[in-house]
Structure 1
Amino acid sequence: MTFQIRAVTIYGKRAGQVRTVPFEPGTLNIVTGDSRRGKSALLTIIDYCLGSSGYPVKAGKVRDYVSAYALTLVKPEQQLFIARRAPEGKSAVSTVLCILPQAPGTPPPPLQELMFATPLDAAKDMLSDFCGIDRTVRVPAVGRAQTIAPSIRHALFFCLQAQNEVANPDLLFHSQGEEWRPNTIRGVIPYFLGAVDPEQALRRNRLRLLRRDLADLEAALAPSQNLDPATGQARALLTEAVEAHLLAPLTNPEPSADEVLGLLRQALSHTEPSPEQDSAEDPLSALTTRRNELRALHGQTRVKIADLKRQLAENTDFTAQATEQRARLVSLGLLRRDPETSRATHCPVCQSTLASANDTVTALTRDLAHLNGDLQVIGSDTPAIQRLISQEEERLQELRSALARNQEEINEVTAGLRALQQEPDDARRAAMVQGRISLYLDTTAHRAVTPQVEDRREELRQQIADLEELLSDDTQGERLASYLSLISQKITSKAAALSLEHSENPIRLDVNRLTVIADKADGPLPLPEMGSGENHLGYHVAAMLSLHEWYTEHRAPVPHLLVLDQPSQVFFPPDHTGEAILGANDRHKLLNIFQAIHQTLRLLEGQFQVIVMEHADLDHPDFGPYVTQRWRYDTNQALVPADWIEEEAD
């Protein structure tokens, strides 16, 4: 069982200011009055307290003098009090509410006793629970890749008809004109009509998630499948490399994956678009490097030759000096005695007695022997040094020749590069192809090192197949079509009772176009094409009453209430602000609306409540007895009490 409204309460900005507008559940409640007395604010207060994400209360006295709003909701043996502050300061909306379970019949508490601590989302959940909505159900959002959890906010699509909606040919449901709302309404209608089996809804949601997981998995596995370079992007890059002369024409028309990757790496290693180019190095750079090496060797050879020549000159100088000294010592050969056998005390020349004469001869002879040895060594080194000098000079000449040849090669390469610069298109194309190849190879390398995605496609496909088999017997579409057919019969009956145009034809509720359609012999006629504000109002009321008859009879989790804001507006001129006096015909048509409301109320036997804010005030049994508030200028009555305004002025 869902709820109805027992009272709307407002709290003033001064202490003790409380104003409660009571309503009787299970019947018609009419609030009549002049313009700008706060009638339309009742609908916006109901919308605001039931979890609106915005602040729908319009600027005026209500905003100026009210600090908090409240609703008292009732259902059998239960009562729930909801209060919400008006936005304070620069805040666009208050995001916390006060929700109090109460004993039935408890009046609204004073403002100072209220604790605003329930966040808006939590408040919506509590209100949805109080309304009887199953928050575990998920229904697909039409036209959007997501699901919807039905809530109290969705139920209000079918409970409120604002002043600009109650006779609007283009908008059948509350807030239908806001962005995304039409698809949301289409998505939740099957649930509130009872066409959605909760268990099947869970399965459909599970199926949707599995299909999404399968799509994500296939997207993740697609790159690894596309890594076969024999087809697709890699093969196209290979063809481009051949056309750009980065590779020789292919001999194998169907290369393997590894072969194609190898060829792409080979194409990437080329530095100029020439099929004859085998080296990955820049030829000019290599020649310059070689020239630097030759120059270094040339310098080293010249230094070595200079060292050898200096050594040869030193040997020559030593030989000259040693030869002269040797010539002086050779005179010892004139001595007649043998130093080893002659007496040591006799002179070897004159045989006179001389102390240590033999020792001197011995020392001179030894020095001559050493000098002869040195001259022999140096004499043997000189030819070797001369040979080394000759070899190094030959090497130096070879280096000079190599430098000359290197310079010639540099000149030729430089000339060739100038020629290439005259044809930049091929070079640019080759560079662009190499850039794409580099990006592809880098990407494939990245994919190769990333964690491999487990291939669960077969498992997911099997789970999807199992769910599809379970859902194959689901008749939600058939149930929805059947329910809509029955509701459409109710709308047709009410349209005929209201004597609306085209009511002689079957009238149906189209949940795809969110309107009512008359099925005429010459084709369907939607509400926007029917013309006449009376028709628009009548079909709105007929559709809303028929839906609520269905909701109540089938215990749907929709608040058993309908709020209509000024249905009589279609019978008054747009600029009417004076006393609400209707002509006889218009009065009769407006009474027909209220008689249709009473018929539904009697049918539902107290389980349905209608609140009407009305400009007119009819003296008729179907209207007068149900007026609960009269807010007129002549009686100084309004939603905001006059003394609140006077106190503020004082």
Structure 2
Amino acid sequence: MTFQIRAVTIYGKQPGQMHTVPFNPGSLNIVTGDSRRGKSALLTIIDYCLASSEYPVKSGVVRDYVGTFAITLVKPGQQLFVARRAPEAKKVVSTVLCIVSQAPGSPPPPLDDLHFVTPRDVAKDILSDFCGIDRNIRVPAIGRATLIAPSVRHALFFCFQAQNEVANEDVLFHSQGKEWRPNTIRGVIPYFLGATDREQALLRSRLRLARKDLSDHQAKLAAARELAPAAGQAQALLTEAIEAHLLQPDATRETTAEGVLRLLRQALLQRGPQVGPDRTDDPISELRTRRAELRSRANRARVRIADLRAALAENSDFTDQANEQRARLATLGLLKRDPVASDVAQCPVCDGPVRSAHATAMTLIDELSHLQSDLHAIGRDTPAIERMISAEEDGLQEVRSQLARNQEEINEVTAAFRALDREPDDERRAAIVQGRISLYLDTAAQLSVGPRVEDRTEELRTRIAELETLLSEDVQGDRLTSFLSLINEQIRFKAQELELEHSSSLLRLDVNRLTVVADTPEGPIPLKDMGSGDNHLGYHVATLLSLHEWFAENDNPVPGVLILDQPSQVYFPPDHVGEEILESDDRILLLNIFKAIHRTLRRLGGKLQVIVMEHADLEDPAFSDYVEHRWRRRDGQALVPSTWLTPEAG
């Protein structure tokens, strides 16, 4: 069982000022009275103490005279006292709370005994635990590419109905009208209804981490590739070493990577250029000749690919036309040969001879036979052509790779020659080449002895694919649909008891649009189109009571509290501020709301607490027997005691 509210306590700004408003758990609690007596502030105080990121208490007497707010939360065998200071001057909100675990039945402690040391985020986690929320669960935030952890703040969407929400035709849940809240409500509804499977939630969390690991790994691989030596750099340095007479000309025969590195190390150990015959060959010319050959090969490959594609297209065109011609000639198969006179065809309808058409028919049949033979031949040729195109494209790609490596070598040799041209002395020229070789070998050595980045891309992709396969079997959607179907039955039952418009139709809670919809023969009717304010109020109450029945009966982690602020407002003019007196019809409609609340409370047997702040004060026992506090101006009763409002207190 989750928590309910035992009391709301306020501490004045003057020493010793303390006022507690007690409530009965598991029952209906009504606070009635005149306007501006602090009734609506009860909801905002509870909201603020439950780790709100804002300061929801409105300007007025409460803000002016109260310095600290507190609530007492209870559940079987446990009690938690939560206090929070009002924001200090120039601060938007107080960021620390006081949370004290108490023995059940303990009174609120005096202000001097409170220590405000718990940061708001930590307090939110403590309250979420006290509410029974599994903080390891992550659910997708609808409309955002993120996952969120459900908390007590999300559970309050289903517990509060502020004065501007309780009969609102456009919003059904608390704070639904604020930016991004609708997407958050949509995201957490499956969890609080019990449709989210813990194992599936963990799989989604692992999938998110696996995708992040893949992204990070690919970034590391890219960084490692940037640090690695260029593919053609080693071969270009080998050419430079030969030109600087650090190696013999036959070194160009070496093509393996290990062999090239061995020769470069050998060149690095030479003490100046070797004595040998002057070289007359030009490495740039050789590289450019090689490049011309590669380009020629690439051009020939492109021409062959174009020719093969043209042949493939011609085959396709011929096949289309031949198939069309064959379809027209296929009906000739209906003609049958006369077994006695082979030159006479028979009509397929009457079996009579068809002599006059025999020659023409036989000619056409022969053409059909040739067409089928041609189509068969083309059918054999087409796959062969496609394989040839694929082979040519692979060859072209290899030539392109060789061209890229050739260009790298040309760039390296050209850059080296520009440097060497400025150093005519052979000794200095060899020293420059050795310096370049040394830098290259140092880089290669760092990469070989440093932490090597192993390519785990395929492993990570396989893991992601496996998780996606497991998640594809998630039945959360089916469970949510099933649960909503059962809740919809209760909404309709309560709507019929309240005699609301469209209650005879099928009613459903639309979790995408966050409203109640009546499905009628004329089409769906959303809440905003369902008549007057008393219908909007009735559907709010019917929906929230049905949800809390589901929460309580299935032990879902939503506080067992429903707070309604002034449901009777739909029966009074907006500017009415006096003691509320209802007309008889409106009185009956309002009493029906309270009777529906009583039926739900009896059914749940103490698992739900309802707190109602009201202007009206009805004589009916369904109302009057449950009034816990009457704050009338004539009696001086209010949330903030009148003794606090003296000039000395202000």
TM-score (norm 2): 0.67
Report whether the alignment pairs 1:167 with 2:167.
Answer: yes
Measured in 2, the distance between the counterparts of 1:583 and 1:129 equals 46
Residues 33, 579 of structure 2: 8 Å contact kept: no
Deviation at 1:470, TM superposition (A): 4.0
Task: Measure, in 2, the Cα distance between the counterparts of 1:219 and 1:542.
Answer: 53
Distance in 1 between the 2:468 and 2:495 partners? 41
> Which amino acid in the other structure matches residue 113 of structure 1?
D
Equivalence for 2:110: 110
Match of 1:260 among 394, 404, 407: 404
Shift of residue 175, structure 1, vs aligned partner: 1.2
- Counterpart CA distance in 1 for 2:91 and 2:41 is 20
Q: 1:85 to 1:540 in 2, by over 3 A?
A: same
**Aligned 1:226-305 pairs, distance under 5 A:** 250-253=295-298, 254=396, 255-260=399-404, 262-263=406-407
Alignment deviations for residues 371-419 of structure 1 (CA, whole Å, 9 cap, x no partner): xxxxxxxxxxxxxxxxxxxxxxxxxxxxxxxxxxxxxxxxxxxxxxxxx
State the Cα distance separating 1:529 from its structure 2 match.
2.6
| Ranges in structure 1 where 5+ consecutive residues have no aligned partner | 230-246, 272-278, 287-444
Give a deviation string over 1:408-461, Cα, whole Å, max 9, x none: xxxxxxxxxxxxxxxxxxxxxxxxxxxxxxxxxxxxx9xx99987532232223
Distance, in Å, in 2 between the alignment partners of 1:473 and 1:618 is 54
Report the Cα offset of residue 471 of structure 1.
3.8
CA contact (8 A) 2:566 2:613 kept: yes
Alpha carbons 2:561, 2:608 under 8 Å: kept: yes
What is the aligned partner in structure 1 of residue 646 from structure 2? 646
Corresponding residue of 1:523? 523
Structure 1 position 261, deviation (Å): 5.1
Q: What residue in structure 1 maps to residue 101 of structure 2? A: 101
User: Relative to 1, partners in 2 of residues 1:629 and 1:476: Cα closer, same or farther, differing over 3 Å?
Assistant: same
Amino acid at match of 2:64: D
1:86-136 Cα shifts (integer Å, max 9, x gaps)? 111211111111111111111111111111111111111111111111111
SS in 2 for 1:208: helix
Answer yes or no: is the 8 Å Cα contact 2:14–2:649 preserved in 1. Answer: no
Q: Which whole-Å CA distance do the structure 2 matches of 1:96 and 1:619 have between them? A: 44
SS in 2 for 1:524: strand
Deviation at 1:209, TM superposition (A): 2.1
Write out aligned runs for 1:250-649 (5 A). Answer: 250-253=295-298, 254=396, 255-260=399-404, 262-263=406-407, 453-646=453-646, 648=648
Partners in 2 of 1:61 and 1:269 — Cα distance? Answer: 85
SS in 2 for 1:488: helix
SS of the equivalent of 1:563 reads strand
| Aligned residue in 1 for 2:12 | 12
Could you tell me how far apart the structure 1 residues matched to 2:184 and 2:541 are? 22
**Alpha carbons of structure 1 residues 620 and 269: separation in structure 2 relative to 1, 3 Å:** farther
Other structure's SS at 1:72 match = strand
1:199 and 1:607 mapped to 2: Cα distance? 28
Q: Please say if 1:189 is aligned against 2:189.
A: yes
Between structure 1 and structure 2, the one with the greater Rg is 1
Q: Partners of 2:208 and 2:201 in 1: how far apart?
A: 10
Structure 2 distance, partners of 1:638, 1:67, is 17
Give me the CA root mean square deviation: 3.3
With over 3 angstroms needed to count, the CA separation of the structure-2 counterparts of 1:22 and 1:647, relative to structure 1, is: farther
**1:456 to 1:49, Cα distance in 2 relative to 1, 3 A:** same
Percentage of pairs with the same residue: 66
Q: CA distance change for structure 1 residues 225 and 571 in 2, over 3 Å: closer, same or farther?
A: farther
Identify the residue that residue 128 of structure 1 maps to in structure 2.
128
Superposed CA deviations along residues 142-172 of structure 1, whole A, max 9, x for unmatched, are 1212211111111111101111111112211
SS at match of 2:166: coil
SS at match of 1:582: coil
Report if aligned partners of 2:50, 2:153 keep a CA contact under 8 Å in 1: yes
Provide closer, same or farther for how the CA distance between residues 215 and 484 of structure 1 changes in structure 2, counting only shifts above 3 A: farther
Partner Cα distance (1:499, 1:212) in 2: 54
Cα distance 1:15–1:605, how it changes in 2: closer, same or farther (>3 A)? same
The residue that corresponds to 2:119 in the other structure is 119
**1:188 counterpart SS class:** helix
Q: Which AA in structure 1 matches 2:525?
A: L
Whole-Å Cα distance in 2 between the matches of residues 141 and 152 of structure 1?
16
- SS at structure 2 position matched to 1:634: helix
* Deviation at residue 531 of structure 1 after TM alignment: 3.7
- SS of corresponding position for 1:648: coil
Please state how far the C-alpha of 1:55 moved relative to its aligned partner. Answer: 0.5
Partner SS for 2:646: helix
Structure 2: segments with no counterpart, 5+ residues: 231-290, 299-395, 423-443
State the SS of the aligned residue for 2:183.
helix
Q: Per-residue CA shift, 1:512-563, capped at 9, x if unaligned? A: 1111111112222221232421121111111110000000000011100100
Quick one: which amino acid aligns to residue 14 of structure 1? Answer: Q
Are the structure 2 counterparts of residues 149 and 250 from structure 1 closer, same or farther at C-alpha, using a change threshold of 3 Å?
same
Matched residue SS, 1:482: helix
Letter in 1 for 2:551: Y
Q: How far did 1:214 drift?
A: 3.2
In 2: Cα distance, 1:610 partner to 1:128 partner = 20
SS in 2 for 1:168: coil
Aligned residue identity for 2:492: T
Distance 1:647 1:224 in 2: 73
In the alignment, residue 5 of structure 2 is paired with which amino acid? I
Residues matched between the structures, number: 470
Distance 1:633 1:269 in 2: 97
Distance verdict in 2 for CA 1:224–1:256, change over 3 Å = farther
Shift of 1:639: 0.6
Partner of 1:318: none
SS in 1 for 2:648: helix
Q: Measure, in 2, the Cα distance between the counterparts of 1:546 and 1:269.
A: 81
1:548-605 CA-partner distances (Å, limit 9, x unpaired): 0000000011100100111111111111112211111111111111111111101101
Distance in 2, Cα, partners of 1:34 & 1:78: 35
- For residue 188 of structure 1, report the CA deviation from its aligned partner: 1.1
Q: Hey, what does 2:140 align to over in structure 1?
A: 140
Query: By how many angstroms is 1:211 displaced?
Result: 3.1
Q: Deviations over 1:208-228 (max 9, x none)?
A: 32234335545766899999x
Structure 2 CA distance for aligned equivalents of residues 471 and 267 of structure 1: 51
Residues 213 and 529 of structure 1: is their aligned pair in 2 closer, same or farther, counting only changes over 3 Å?
A: farther
Equivalent residue number for residue 176 of structure 2: 176
When residues 250 and 583 of structure 1 are mapped into structure 2, their CA distance, relative to the original with a 3 A threshold, is: same
Q: Secondary structure at the match of 1:256?
A: helix
- How far apart are the structure 1 equivalents of 2:532 and 2:223? 61
258-267 or 51-60, which deviates more: 258-267
- The answer as to whether partners of 2:51 and 2:124 remain within 8 angstroms in 1 is yes
Q: Deviations over 1:315-358 (max 9, x none)?
A: xxxxxxxxxxxxxxxxxxxxxxxxxxxxxxxxxxxxxxxxxxxx
Answer with 64-73 or 251-260: which moved more. Answer: 251-260
- Cα 1:93–1:608 change in 2 (3 A) is same
- Residue 387 of structure 1 corresponds to none
Aligned to 2:385: none
